[in-house]
Chains A and B, each alone.
Chain A
Amino acid sequence: MGNQFLEVKDLEVVYTQNKKMVHAVNGVSFSLGKGKTLGIVGETGAGKTTISKAIMRILPDVGARITNGEIYLNGESVLDKSEEEMLDVRGKVVSMIFQDPMTALNPLMTVGDQILEVIELHNDCDKKEAVKLAGDMLEMVGIPRVRYKEYPHQFSGGMKQRVVIAMALACNPELLLADEPTTALDVTVQAQVLGLIRDLREKYDTALILITHDLGVVAQTCDEVAVIYAGQIVEYGTKEDLFDHPTHPYTLGLFGSLPGMAEGEKRLHSIVGLPPDPTNLPEGCKFWPRCPHMTEACKGEIPVKHLSETHYYRCLKDRNPDGTFEDQTKPGGNENG
Chain B
Amino acid sequence: MYKYVIKRLISMIIIVVCAGIIVFTLMYLAPGDPARLQLGQWATEDVLAAKRHELGIDLPYIVQLGKFLYNTFLRFDFGISWQSSMPVMGELAVRLPRTLMIGIPSMILSVVVGTVLGIFAATHEGRLGDSLTMVLTMVLVSAPDFWVALMFIILFAAKLGWVPAFGIESLKSYILPIICSALPVMAVNARQARSSMLEVIRADYITTARSKGQKSKVIVRRHMFPNALMPIITGVAGGLCKVVAGSPVIESVFSIPGVGAYLLSGVNYRDRPVVCGCVVFFALFTSIVVLLMDLCYAFLDPRIKAQYSK
Asked if A100 and B204 make an inter-chain contact with CB atoms under 8 angstroms apart, the answer reads yes
Q: Which residues of A contact B207 (CB under 8 A)?
A: 53, 58, 98, 104
Q: Which residues of B contact A104 (CB under 8 A)?
A: 204-205, 207-208
Q: Does A249 contact B (CB under 8 A)?
A: no
Q: Which residues of A contact B212 (CB under 8 A)?
A: 90-91, 95, 117-118, 121, 167
A60-B207 Cα distance, complex, nearest whole Å: 8
Annotate B198-212 by CB proximity to A: 1 below 8 A, 0 otherwise.
Answer: 000011110111111
Asked if B213 and A106 make an inter-chain contact with CB atoms under 8 angstroms apart, the answer reads no
Q: Which residues of A contact B302 (CB under 8 A)?
A: 107-108, 151, 153
A58-B202 Cα distance, complex, nearest whole Å: 12
Residues facing B in A123-165 (CB within 8 A) are: 151, 153-154, 164
Asked if B214 and A117 make an inter-chain contact with CB atoms under 8 angstroms apart, the answer reads yes
Asked if B205 and A92 make an inter-chain contact with CB atoms under 8 angstroms apart, the answer reads no
A90-B303 Cα distance, complex, nearest whole Å: 30
Residues facing A in B212-265 (CB within 8 A) are: 212-215, 222-223, 226-227
Q: A103-B204, A108-B300, A118-B212 are in contact. List 7 more A-B contacts (CB 8 A).
A: A62-B125, A90-B210, A91-B211, A98-B204, A104-B205, A108-B301, A151-B303
Q: Does A105 contact B (CB under 8 A)?
A: yes
Could you list 27 A-B pairs, sorted by A, with CB under 8 Å? Answer: A53-B207, A56-B210, A60-B202, A87-B213, A87-B214, A88-B213, A90-B210, A91-B211, A95-B211, A96-B211, A98-B208, A103-B203, A103-B205, A104-B205, A104-B208, A106-B205, A106-B227, A107-B205, A108-B300, A108-B301, A117-B214, A118-B213, A122-B213, A151-B302, A151-B303, A153-B303, A167-B208
Asked if B210 and A105 make an inter-chain contact with CB atoms under 8 angstroms apart, the answer reads no
A135-B300 Cα distance, complex, nearest whole Å: 24
Q: Does B171 contact A (CB under 8 A)?
A: no
Q: Does B93 contact A (CB under 8 A)?
A: no
**A-B pairs with the 6 shortest C-beta distances?**
A90-B213, A91-B213, A103-B204, A91-B212, A151-B302, A118-B212
**Chain B minimum-CB-distance residue to A99:** B204
Q: Does A25 contact B (CB under 8 A)?
A: no
Q: Which residues of A contact B223 (CB under 8 A)?
A: 106, 109
A103-B202 Cα distance, complex, nearest whole Å: 11
Q: Does B144 contact A (CB under 8 A)?
A: no
Q: Which residues of B contact A98 (CB under 8 A)?
A: 204, 207-208, 211
A88-B214 Cα distance, complex, nearest whole Å: 9
Q: Does B306 contact A (CB under 8 A)?
A: yes
Q: Which residues of B contact A86 (CB under 8 A)?
A: 213
Q: Which residues of B contact A178 (CB under 8 A)?
A: none
Q: Does B31 contact A (CB under 8 A)?
A: no
**Chain A minimum-CB-distance residue to B198:** A62
Asked if A56 and B211 make an inter-chain contact with CB atoms under 8 angstroms apart, the answer reads yes
Q: Does B60 contact A (CB under 8 A)?
A: no
Q: Which residues of B contact A91 (CB under 8 A)?
A: 211-214
CB distance from A55 to the nearest CB of B (A): 11
Q: Does A89 contact B (CB under 8 A)?
A: yes
Asked if A90 and B301 make an inter-chain contact with CB atoms under 8 angstroms apart, the answer reads no
CB distance from A298 to the nearest CB of B (A): 37
Q: Which residues of B contact A106 (CB under 8 A)?
A: 205, 208-209, 223, 227
A121-B222 Cα distance, complex, nearest whole Å: 14
Q: Does B126 contact A (CB under 8 A)?
A: yes
Residue B301 contacts which of A53, A107, A117, A154 (CB distance < 8 angstroms)? A107
Given known A-B contacts A151-B302, A153-B302, A153-B303, A105 and B213 have beta carbons under 8 A apart: no
Asked if A89 and B205 make an inter-chain contact with CB atoms under 8 angstroms apart, the answer reads no
Q: Which residues of B contact A60 (CB under 8 A)?
A: 202
Q: Which residues of B contact A88 (CB under 8 A)?
A: 213
Asked if A108 and B203 make an inter-chain contact with CB atoms under 8 angstroms apart, the answer reads no
Q: Which residues of A contact B125 (CB under 8 A)?
A: 62
Q: Which residues of A contact B208 (CB under 8 A)?
A: 98, 104-106, 164, 167
**Chain A minimum-CB-distance residue to B123:** A61
Residues facing B in A68-103 (CB within 8 A) are: 86-92, 95-96, 98, 100, 103
A88-B227 Cα distance, complex, nearest whole Å: 26
**Chain B minimum-CB-distance residue to A177:** B211
**Chain A minimum-CB-distance residue to B300:** A108
**Chain B minimum-CB-distance residue to A58:** B210
Most chain B Cβ neighbours within 10 Å, of A53, A58, A92: A58
A89-B222 Cα distance, complex, nearest whole Å: 21
Q: Which residues of B contact A118 (CB under 8 A)?
A: 212-213
**Chain A minimum-CB-distance residue to B227:** A108
Q: Which residues of B contact A117 (CB under 8 A)?
A: 209, 212, 214, 222
Q: Which residues of A contact B126 (CB under 8 A)?
A: 62
Asked if A92 and B213 make an inter-chain contact with CB atoms under 8 angstroms apart, the answer reads yes
Asked if A105 and B205 make an inter-chain contact with CB atoms under 8 angstroms apart, the answer reads yes
Given known A-B contacts A106-B227, A108-B301, A153-B306, A121 and B205 have beta carbons under 8 A apart: no
Most chain B Cβ neighbours within 10 Å, of A60, A91, A104, A106: A106
Q: Which residues of B contact A109 (CB under 8 A)?
A: 222-223
A104-B210 Cα distance, complex, nearest whole Å: 11
CB distance from B129 to the nearest CB of A (A): 13
Q: Which residues of B contact A151 (CB under 8 A)?
A: 302-303
**Chain B minimum-CB-distance residue to A105:** B205
**Chain A minimum-CB-distance residue to B211:** A96
A167-B211 Cα distance, complex, nearest whole Å: 10
Q: Which residues of B contact A164 (CB under 8 A)?
A: 208
A87-B214 Cα distance, complex, nearest whole Å: 6
A190-B211 Cα distance, complex, nearest whole Å: 23
CB distance from A91 to the nearest CB of B (A): 4
CB distance from A185 to the nearest CB of B (A): 16
CB distance from A58 to the nearest CB of B (A): 5
**Chain B minimum-CB-distance residue to A87:** B213
**Chain B minimum-CB-distance residue to A16:** B126
